[in-house]
């Protein structure tokens, strides 16, 4: 049964905002008490938070679909809907968040680091909040905005200072067990370690973490064995330690060739050339192991490696190794730039930034309006209510959409699309549709929308002529 998972695909959905309420206060002797519809509640966010007590992504492997709660709709008597509850997902330290295309969205390192994977939708305003001096009793309310949905990939990259790399059964697990308090599974067969093991080592005043990376064999960088699954766990380390088996029972292997093969796999994986290397010759407690270590040590030192001879069983040479690693880790930490306190950066909106764009879509013969505000207003509008549609026209006009359409060459009756291309709202544009909120009418109606639309009629006439021509072609053939 799987107990360690370091890569999952997660489907998150934030909560939808609650709808606003359209209500009129009714009381004895007060037949027109005014609008009293409350606002809808905000939808809950989906937030990833680093938790040091979490070490695996196993929970999300079994339950990959996570959704925050929706905001509640508003009610009469000025009662606002309850906000949706935020969904907080704990993740291990060192989790990288990517989109489906592999682009990095966030790198979560450090206790308490957060990332909002899905923003909850805002609640719609009730008619009490929409009332103004000119629109005293709105017969509509705004709809809640849907929450964000996303498919993301979580990858765990172990946060360790030292990474032990080497062939299976080279003694990495034994070494980490005697250098730290970690108790990994140890056996005399290959691929004993199926997950990265972490241990904490104290050497003088320096405390650092050490991890062993399982399953490195020839072809690991191309997916052979277990290496490709766990090579990402060495990316954050400060130093690489090659653990070489000087007492291997395999006749076709020797420590130097093992080192060359592992180095080639690390090179093909990429991004690790700048990490300092140390070579550990393990199992010198065996007579043949000590003899082989004496033979190959000069060659390794000639290559520039710092070499240590140790025995995890006899516990020899461990003190020198731990202090040497502590020195390299301390130097790497000192070389890192100091982290500055988070600053709040305020970027004022440019005076000529309208917040939307207008462009003509030749393929569909419509003018497309793209922008955060217009698209949100479209989602908030109840198109079954003419008064709400008129209010939308007012907002777009005040934003400057009508002027931009005129500058783009739009004429009366031309099609205008607002929203994503696959789910846009398309309507016939009529210039100077000033929303006369002062234009009184029955609640829920806007008489401007009852005016004839000549462009729409011309389009219907053209379609009728085309259908008639096609029918004649079928009956009489080409002339």
267-314 pLDDT tens trace:
887 778 888 899 999 888 888 888 888 889 999 999 999 999 988 888
Q: What is the pLDDT of residue 449?
A: 53
Span 131-154, average pLDDT: 91
Highest mean pLDDT among 21-30, 260-269, 369-378: 369-378
- Count CB neighbours of 242 within 10 A: 23
Let me know: does 156 contact 175? Beta carbons within 8 Å. no
Given a cut of 60, whether residue 90 has pLDDT beyond it is yes
Lowest mean pLDDT among 5-14, 120-129, 245-254, 420-429: 245-254
pTM of the model: 0.71
pLDDT grade for 162, boundaries at 50, 70 and 90: confident
Q: What is the pLDDT of residue 4?
A: 59
Q: Which residue has the tokens 């004993």?
A: 192
Given a cut of 90, whether residue 440 has pLDDT beyond it is no
443-469 burial code (b ≥16 CB/10 A, e <16): eeebebeeeebeeeeeeeeeeeeeeee
CA dist 427 and 415 (Å) reads: 6
Let me know: does 165 contact 213? Beta carbons within 8 Å. yes
Q: What is the pLDDT of residue 451?
A: 54
Which tokens in the block code for residue 95?
């989790």
Higher pLDDT pick, 417 / 351:
417
Q: What is the pLDDT of residue 469?
A: 76
Given a cut of 90, whether residue 48 has pLDDT beyond it is yes
198-232 pLDDT, tens digit per residue, is: 778 888 888 888 888 775 655 544 544 444 455 77
Q: Is 409 exposed, middle or buried (0-12, 13-18, 19+ CB in 10 A)?
A: exposed
Mean pLDDT (the chain) is 81
Let me know: does 401 contact 369? Beta carbons within 8 Å. yes
Lowest mean pLDDT among 33-37, 229-233, 356-360: 229-233
Given a cut of 90, whether residue 64 has pLDDT beyond it is yes
- Name residues whose C-beta falls within 8 Å of residue 429's C-beta, 6 or more positions apart in sequence: 367, 405, 410, 412, 413, 414, 415, 416
Nearest to 168 by CA among 186, 192, 196, 184: 192
Higher pLDDT pick, 183 / 279:
279
Q: What is the pLDDT of residue 394?
A: 87
Nearest to 268 by CA among 216, 194, 211: 216
- Name residues whose C-beta falls within 8 Å of residue 218's C-beta, 6 or more positions apart in sequence: 224, 261, 265
Given a cut of 60, whether residue 187 has pLDDT beyond it is no
Question: Given strand 95-98, what is the order of strands in its sheet?
Answer: 65-67, 7-13, 149-156, 95-98, 104-108
Q: What is the pLDDT of residue 292?
A: 87
pLDDT grade for 435, boundaries at 50, 70 and 90: very low
Q: What is the pLDDT of residue 190?
A: 41
- Name residues whose C-beta falls within 8 Å of residue 130's C-beta, 6 or more positions apart in sequence: 20, 35, 138, 140, 141, 142, 391
């Amino acid at each position: 049964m799987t107990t360690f998972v370091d890569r999952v695909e997660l489907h998150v959905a934030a909560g939808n905002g609650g709808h606003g309420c359209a209500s009129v206060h009714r009381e004895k002797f007060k037949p027109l008490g005014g609008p009293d519809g409350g606002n809808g509640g905000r939808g809950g966010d989906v937030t990833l938070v680093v938790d040091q007590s979490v070490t695996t992504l196993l929970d999300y492997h079994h339950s990959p679909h996570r959704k925050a709660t929706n905001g509640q709709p508003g009610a009469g008597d000025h009662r606002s809907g309850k906000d949706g509850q935020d969904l907080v997902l704990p993740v291990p330290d060192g989790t990288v968040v990517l989109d489906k295309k592999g682009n990095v969205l966030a790198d979560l390192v450090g206790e308490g680091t957060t990332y909002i994977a899905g923003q909850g939708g805002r609640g719609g305003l009730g008619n009490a909040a929409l009332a103004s001096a000119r629109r005293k009793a709105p017969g509509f309310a705004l709809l809640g905005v849907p929450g964000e949905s996303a498919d993301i990939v979580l990858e765990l990259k172990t946060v360790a200072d030292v990474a032990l790399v080497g062939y299976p059964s080279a003694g990495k697990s034994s070494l980490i067990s005697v250098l730290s308090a970690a108790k990994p599974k140890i056996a005399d067969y290959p691929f004993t370690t199926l997950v990265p093991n972490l241990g904490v080592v104290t050497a003088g005043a320096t405390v650092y973490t050490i991890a062993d990376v399982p399953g490195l064999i020839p072809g690991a960088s191309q997916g052979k064995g277990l290496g490709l699954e766990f090579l990402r766990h060495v990316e954050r380390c400060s130093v690489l330690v090659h653990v070489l088996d000087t007492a291997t029972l395999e006749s076709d292997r020797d420590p130097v060739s093992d080192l060359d093969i592992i180095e080639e796999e690390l090179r093909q994986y990429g991004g690790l050339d700048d990490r300092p290397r140390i070579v550990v010759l393990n199992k010198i407690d065996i007579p043949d192991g000590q003899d082989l270590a004496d033979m190959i040590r000069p060659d390794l030192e000639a290559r520039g490696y710092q070499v240590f001879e140790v025995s995890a069983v006899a516990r020899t040479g461990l003190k020198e190794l731990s202090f040497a690693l502590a020195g390299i880790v301390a130097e790497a930490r000192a070389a890192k730039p100091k982290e500055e306190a988070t600053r709040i950066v305020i970027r004022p909106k440019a005076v000529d930034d309208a917040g939307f764009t207008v462009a003509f879509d030749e393929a569909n013969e419509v003018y497309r309006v793209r922008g955060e505000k217009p698209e949100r207003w479209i989602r908030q509008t109840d198109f079954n209510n003419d008064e709400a549609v008129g209010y939308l026209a007012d907002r777009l006009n005040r934003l400057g959409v009508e002027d931009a359409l005129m500058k783009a060459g739009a004429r009366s009756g031309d099609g205008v699309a607002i929203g994503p291309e696959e789910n846009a709202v398309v309507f016939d544009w009529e210039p100077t549709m000033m929303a006369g909120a002062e234009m009184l009418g029955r609640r829920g109606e806007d008489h401007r929308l009852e005016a004839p639309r000549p462009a729409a009629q011309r389009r219907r006439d053209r379609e009728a002529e085309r259908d008639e021509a096609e029918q004649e072609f079928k009956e009489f053939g080409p002339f």
